[in-house]
Amino acid sequence: MFFNVFKFNVFKLIFKLNRRKFQHDLLRPLDPRCRLAAGFAVILAAASVTNPLLLSGLIIAGALALARDIKTVLTRLGAVNVFCAMLFITMPLSGYGVEAPVRYTLRINAAALIFMLFVVSLGIADLAPALTKLRVNPKLVSLLILTYRYLFLMHDRVFRSILAMRLRRPRLTTRAAWRSYTALFASAFVSAFFRSRKINRAAQARGFDGVFPLTRTFNWKLRDTAALILAFAVSILLIYLDKNLGQGLPWRIYR
């Protein structure tokens, strides 16, 4: 019984997309284009920083900014750190030692928190038009919209099927359970493929040319300019501190 519940929670974690928005009070009134550009700048700076103290400071700052949704943040960071755990297994075996996976883990967590703060909190209704306004390829924006939509459709389809399977056979042995889940995933992907073909034909019959028309407008204000300048200043400061401070201190071994 415990193993079946554990498997169900694993699949729920894989397919669950939390619809809650991470909204920090200081970022809420900013233009989505400003938030995307600022987040991109800070993420690039975090990716180039090697000082563990600076990276830890970014992680703490991001966690404090997202403190209202700390449970959801920890859940998503847990999924991210599954990959980081693999680094601690594979990289020491490849001769990189322990310092390299520690550095990459700090970078990944800092970038993930910044991404959640600046980008995830936007929501698809603001994110797609903002990307279009920033001259991102319209086909990539359309692909983002379709991916977002069909992940939720697949999520609903899988859990309806799991519920139906449990109602018909609530007690499954370990081998039978995994066999049933494998068939379930196969049928979900196959049905999604045929459904996508039908929707594509229906859209083409209605004149769809591969690009969603997005008419959302934004109003750039002085506070957006100030916030963007501040984000670039913080990014430059992080790079400067990483390059010029801490000579001879123990954390320099991470370079």
Q: Which of 64, 55, 77 is CA-nearest to residue 25?
A: 64
pLDDT of residue 152: 76
Would 181 be classed as within a structural domain?
Answer: yes
Would 144 be classed as within a structural domain?
Answer: yes
Examine the pLDDT at 94 and tell me if it is beyond 70.
yes
Would 225 be classed as within a structural domain?
Answer: yes
pLDDT of residue 44: 92
pLDDT of residue 13: 43
Would 18 be classed as within a structural domain?
Answer: no
Model pLDDT for residues 18-61, shown as the tens digit of each residue: 444 455 667 778 888 999 999 999 999 998 888 888 888 889 98
CA dist 129 and 142 (Å) reads: 10
Q: Six-digit token pair at 173?
A: 């042995």
Enclosing domain of residue 91: 30-254
* Average pLDDT over every residue of 104-126: 87
Would 16 be classed as within a structural domain?
Answer: no
How long a stretch of residues is the chain?
255
Q: Which of left, alpha, beta for 43 (phi over 0: left; psi -120 to 50: alpha)?
A: alpha
Would 143 be classed as within a structural domain?
Answer: yes
Give the CA distances from residue 42 to residues 28, 34, 37, 48, 49, in Å, rounded to whole numbers and listed in that order: 18, 12, 9, 10, 11
> How would residue 184 be classed by pLDDT, with cut points 50, 70 and 90?
confident
Q: What angle, rounded to 10 degrees, do the helices at 32-48 and 124-133 form?
A: 80
Would 96 be classed as within a structural domain?
Answer: yes
Examine the pLDDT at 72 and tell me if it is beyond 60.
yes
CA-based R_g, the chain, Å? 22
